[in-house]
């Protein structure tokens, strides 16, 4: 086993976790690093909205209180950044796609979700990744309201993909029949972003 891997696995074991949870090329951290392009935006929850549009029967716009009034889901998930850090058992609370789908009624042709965020940031995922049990539109992490540096007031979390697909400062979900590359995907990150297959870059 390569030295990097055996050292990384030893750290996971010391922290009391199963090393099999660490995807290839990743190292374990107990901290929660902050990572994004640009400055942290100042988002006012009293005027914030989440707009859901595109390949849906009903376009929906939700305010922060309306989002929080929907049935909540809590998940515990591991997160994996393409810059190689992995954090285990992150606690997220928010709204699952099934609640939003009830409101917007995606058309049968809907196969992709393009998350829109402040500063024009976008991140694309197959609808299936957003339908995953552990994917959420998140407003709380580790029992506290999501902080601005981690994407508060509201971010997307898609734990089945490298963490760049989890758009911070979320303000829209565009439902689409065709895929549209997001910010990091256009920059050269792999569109599929499966960390078990080390799909980091498209070149
Ligand atoms: N709006 C926005 N969301 C973003 C990014 C970004 O640049 N802008 N970067 C992504 C990347 S690369 C990672 S690893 C995670 C980091 O989230 P964290 O800072 O809460 O750890 O946010 C993702 N979401
Ligand atoms: Mo990342």
Q: Is the pLDDT of residue 203 over 90?
A: no
Which ligand has an atom closest to residue 33 CA? Answer: 1
Q: What is the DSSP string of the chain?
A: --HHHHHHHHHHHHTT--GGGS-TT-EE-SS-----SSPPP---TTT-EEEEEESBSS-EEEEHHHHHHSPPEEEEEEEE-TTSEEEEEEEEEEE-HHHHHHHH-B-TT--EEEEEEGGG-EEEEEHHHHHSTT-EEEEEETTEEPPGGGTTT-EEE-TTS-GGGS-SSEEEEEEESS----HHHHTTB-SS--GGGT--B--
Tokens of 201: 């870059």
User: Quick check: 35 pLDDT over 90?
Assistant: yes
**Closest ligand 1 atom number to CA of residue 170:** 1
Per-residue pLDDT, 2: 86
> What pTM did the predictor assign?
0.98
Taking a C-beta distance cutoff of 8 angstroms, is the pair 155, 168 a contact?
Answer: yes
Give the residues surrounding ligand 1 with Cβ less than 6 Å away: 32-37, 81, 117, 121, 150-151, 163-164, 166-169
pLDDT in tens, 95-144: 999 999 999 999 999 999 999 999 999 999 999 999 999 999 999 999 99
Task: Specify the pLDDT at position 92.
Answer: 98
- Matching CATH number, 46-75+90-197, of 1.20.120.1200, 3.40.91.50, 3.40.50.10890, 3.90.420.10: 3.90.420.10
What is the mean predicted confidence (pLDDT) over 161-176? 98
For ligand 1, the distance from its centroid to the CA atom of residue 159, given in whole angstroms, is 13
């Amino acid at each position: 086993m390569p030295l990097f891997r055996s050292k990384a696995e030893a750290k996971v074991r010391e922290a009391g976790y199963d090393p099999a949870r660490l995807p290839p090329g990743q190292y374990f951290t107990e901290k929660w690093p902050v990572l994004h392009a640009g400055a942290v935006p100042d988002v006012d929850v009293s005027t914030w909205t989440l707009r859901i549009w595109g390949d849906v029967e009903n376009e929906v716009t939700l305010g922060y209180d309306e989002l929080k009034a929907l049935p909540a889901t809590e998940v515990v998930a591991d997160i994996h950044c393409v810059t190689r850090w992995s954090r285990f058992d992150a606690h997220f609370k928010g709204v699952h796609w099934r609640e939003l789908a009830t409101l917007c009624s995606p058309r049968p042709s809907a196969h992709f979700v393009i998350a829109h965020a402040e500063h024009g940031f976008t991140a694309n995922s197959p609808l299936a990744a957003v339908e995953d049990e552990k994917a959420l539109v998140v407003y709380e992490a580790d029992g506290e309201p999501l902080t601005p540096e981690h994407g508060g007031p509201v971010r997307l979390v898609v734990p089945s993909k490298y963490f760049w697909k989890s758009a911070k400062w979320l303000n829209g979900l565009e439902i689409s029949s065709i895929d549209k590359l997001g910010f990091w995907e256009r920059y050269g990150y792999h569109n599929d972003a499966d960390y078990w297959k080390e799909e980091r870059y498209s070149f």
